[in-house]
Structure 1
Amino acid sequence: MTSKPLYVYLQRPDTGDWVTVGRYKLDGESEIGRFRYAPSYEAAGHAWTIDPVNLPYLPGRDWEARRYRGLHDVLRDACPDAWGKMLLQRQHNLPADAHDSRYLALAGNVDRWGALAVGPSATPSVAALSSPRLPMLEALSRELIALFERRPALDARLRQRLVATPSLGGARPKTTIQDADRYWLVKPFLPTDAADIPLLEHVAQQWGRACGLNFAETVHHALGDGLSVVRVLRFDRLGKRRFMAVSGASLLQTEYPFIGPEESARWSYPRLAEELKRIGAPLADRVELFDRMVFNAVAGNDDDHPRNHAAMYHAQENRWRLAPAFDVVPNPVEAPRALTMQLSMGRFDISREAALADAIRFGFKTLDEASAHLDALLDRIGAGFTRVEGLLSPELRDLLQPRLQDNLALLR
Structure 2
Amino acid sequence: MPITSRSLYVYLQRPDDGEWVTVGRYLAAAHGEGYFRYAPSYVDAGLAWSIDPVNLRFVPGLDVAATRYRGLHDVLRDACPDAWGQALLRREHNLPGNAPPLQYLQAASNIDRWGALAVGASAKAPKSNLGSPAPPRLDQVVEELAALSERRPAIRAKIRSRLIQTASVGGARPKSTVQDDTLQFWLVKPGIASDVANIPLLEHVGQQWGRASGLDFAATVFHPAVGGRSAVRVLRFDRHLGRRLMCVSAASLLQAEYPDDLTQTDRWSYPRLAEELRLAGSPPEDRVELFGRMVFNAACGNDDDHVRNHAIVYRADEGRWRLAPAFDVVPNPVETPRRLHMQLSVGRFDISRDAVLADAHRFGFSGKAEAASYLDILLDRIGAGFAGTAHWLDNAWRQTLHERLTHNAAVLKGLPGVLSQE
Q: TM-score range by the shorter chain?
A: over 0.9
1:6 Cα offset (Å): 0.5
Give deviations 1:10-47, integer Å, cap 9, x for gaps.
00011100000000012231x22100000010000000
Residues 250-269 of structure 1 aligned to structure 2 (within 5 Å): 250-261=252-263, 263-269=264-270
Task: From 242, 245, 248, give the equivalent of 1:243.
Answer: 245
1:176 aligns with 2:177: yes
- Tell whether the 8 Å contact from 1:280 to 1:319 is kept in structure 2 after alignment: yes
Residue type matched to 1:128 in 2?
A: L
- Structure 2 residue aligned with 1:359: 360
Alignment pair present for 1:300 and 2:301:
yes
Cα pair distance change 1:132/1:190, threshold 3 Å: farther
Unaligned runs of 5+ in 1: none
Deviation at 1:132, TM superposition (A): 4.2
Q: Given that residues 204 and 330 in structure 1 are in contact (C-alpha distance below 8 angstroms), is that contact kept between their aligned partners in structure 2?
A: yes
Distance 1:80 1:399 in 2: 34
Q: Is the 8 A contact 1:144 1:174 kept in 2?
A: yes
> Which residue is equivalent to 2:214?
212
Residue of structure 1 in register with 2:314 after alignment: 313
Distance 2:260 2:292 in 1: 25
Deviation at 1:164, TM superposition (A): 1.5
Q: Find the residue that maps to 2:168 and give its secondary structure.
A: coil
Match of 2:160 in 1: 159
Amino acid at match of 2:203: E
The corresponding residue for 1:190 is 192
Instruction: State the shift of 1:342 in Å.
Output: 0.1
- CA offsets 1:209-251 (integer angstroms, 9 cap, x no match): 0011000000000135752100000011122310000000001
- For 1:119-142, what per-residue CA distance to the aligned partner results, in whole angstroms no more than 9, with x for missing partners? 011011255312444x70111001
Q: Is the 8 A contact 1:221 1:230 kept in 2?
A: yes
Which residue does the alignment assign to 2:420?
none
Is residue 131–residue 177 contact of structure 1 (8 Å, CA) maintained in 2?
no
1:396 Cα shift? 2.2
Residue 97 of structure 1 deviates from its aligned partner by: 1.1
The whole-number CA distance in structure 2 between the counterparts of 1:84 and 1:284 is 34
| Residue 343 of structure 1 pairs with residue 344 of structure 2 | yes
| Deviation per residue, 1:173-213 (Å, 9 max, x gap) | 00000002100000001010010000000000000000110
Pairing 1:90–2:94 present? no
Match of 1:230 in 2: 232
User: Are positions 1:19 and 2:16 aligned together?
Assistant: no
Give distance in 1, aligned partners of 2:184 and 2:247: 17
Q: Give secondary structure in 2 for the equivalent of 1:253.
A: coil
Q: Which residue of 1 aligns with 2:109?
A: 108
Equivalent residues in 2 for 1:117-156, closer than 5 Å: 117-125=118-126, 128-133=130-135, 136-156=137-157
- Distance in structure 2 (CA, Å) of the matches to 1:16 and 1:190: 37
**Matching residue of 2:400:** 399
Q: Which amino acid aligns with 1:105?
A: Q
Instruction: Give SS of 1:110's match.
Output: helix
CA distance in structure 1 between the partners assigned to 2:216 and 2:408 by the alignment: 21
Q: CA deviation at 1:2?
A: 3.5
Shift in CA distance, 90/235, structure 1 to aligned 2, threshold 3 Å: same
Q: How many residues align?
A: 409
Q: Which residue of the partner structure matches residue 417 of structure 2?
A: none
Kept in 2: contact 1:128–1:240 (CA 8 A): no
Q: Following the alignment from structure 1 to structure 2, what is the Cα–Cα distance between the partners of residues 265 and 79?
A: 24
| Cα contact 1:35–1:62 (8 A) shared by 2 | yes
Q: Is the 8 A contact 1:109 1:127 kept in 2?
A: no
CA distance in 2, matches of 1:66, 1:124: 27
**What is the CA-CA distance between 1:399 and the residue it aligns to?**
2.6
TM-score of the superposition, structure 2-length normalised?
0.95
- Preserved CA contact (<8 Å) 1:78 1:114: yes
Cα distance in 2, alignment partners of residues 113 and 143 from structure 1 = 22
Partner Cα separation in structure 1 for residue 169 and residue 137 of structure 2: 19
Are the aligned partners of 1:131 and 1:176 in contact in 2 as well (CA < 8 Å)? no
Q: Which range moved further: 81-90 or 223-232?
A: 223-232
Q: Percent identity?
A: 63
In structure 2, list runs of 5 or more residues that go unmatched.
414-422
The answer as to whether partners of 1:220 and 1:230 remain within 8 angstroms in 2 is: yes
Q: CA offset at residue 167 of structure 1?
A: 0.5
The residue number in structure 2 matching 1:46 is 47
CA contact (8 A) 1:245 1:312 kept: yes
| Distance in structure 1 (CA, Å) of the matches to 2:308 and 2:43 | 30
- RMSD of aligned residue pairs (Cα, Å): 1.2
State whether residues 24 and 35 of structure 1, in contact with CA within 8 Å, keep that contact through their aligned partners in structure 2.
Answer: yes
Corresponding letter in the other structure for 1:79: C
Per-residue displacement from partner, 1:349-376 (whole Å, max 9, x unpaired)? 0000000000000000121111100000
